[in-house]
């Protein structure tokens, strides 16, 4: 049996998958799933993430916003020929979305990201020296 880190593991087993959960007392529970069941679980998790994001944004902005979420696995930031910022985002299938913004928008985005990352990690916001 594979090691079960962080309480859960997920492994391919034959033509399906096995999800394992290790409890605090060391007992391991296994759930065997077909590929179709696994895809259904992923769809449910994606829907939950979208609903959760909508709930958070509704609380933040006081209104319900329609969100379309896409998993981003890599980003590249480069200058454009016109001195703007090009943000290239890549999905797991390597499809791309490119956004172009003025440097003031890029600066605002950078500041907000640093603040948000500090809050998410529960750490102090790093200062630039």
Specify the number of domains making up the chain: 2
> 105-110 long-range CB contacts below 8 Å, 24 or more apart?
106/77
Q: What is the pLDDT of residue 28?
A: 86
| Cα gap 8→108, rounded to integer Å | 38
pLDDT tens-digit profile of 35-49? Answer: 888 888 888 888 777
pTM of this prediction exceeds 0.85: no
Residues 9 and 56 in one domain: yes
Domain-located, residue 105: yes
Residue 83, token pair as written in the block: 């001195």
Domain around 35 = 5-61
Residue 123, token pair as written in the block: 């750490």
Residues 57 and 101 in one domain: no
Q: Where are the alpha helices (DSSP H) in the chain?
A: 35-61, 103-121
């Amino acid at each position: 049996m594979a090691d079960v880190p962080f309480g859960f593991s997920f492994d391919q087993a034959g033509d399906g998958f096995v999800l394992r959960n290790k409890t605090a007392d060391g007992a391991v529970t296994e759930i065997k799933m077909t590929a179709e069941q696994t895809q259904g679980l992923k769809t449910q998790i994606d829907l939950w993430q979208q609903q959760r994001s909508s709930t958070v944004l509704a609380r933040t902005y006081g209104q319900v916003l329609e969100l379309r979420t896409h998993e981003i696995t890599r980003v590249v930031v480069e200058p454009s020929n016109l001195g703007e910022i090009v943000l290239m985002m890549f999905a797991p299938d390597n499809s791309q979305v490119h956004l172009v913004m003025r440097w003031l928008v890029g600066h605002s985005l950078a500041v907000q990201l640093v603040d948000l990352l500090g809050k998410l990690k529960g750490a102090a916001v790093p200062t630039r020296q």
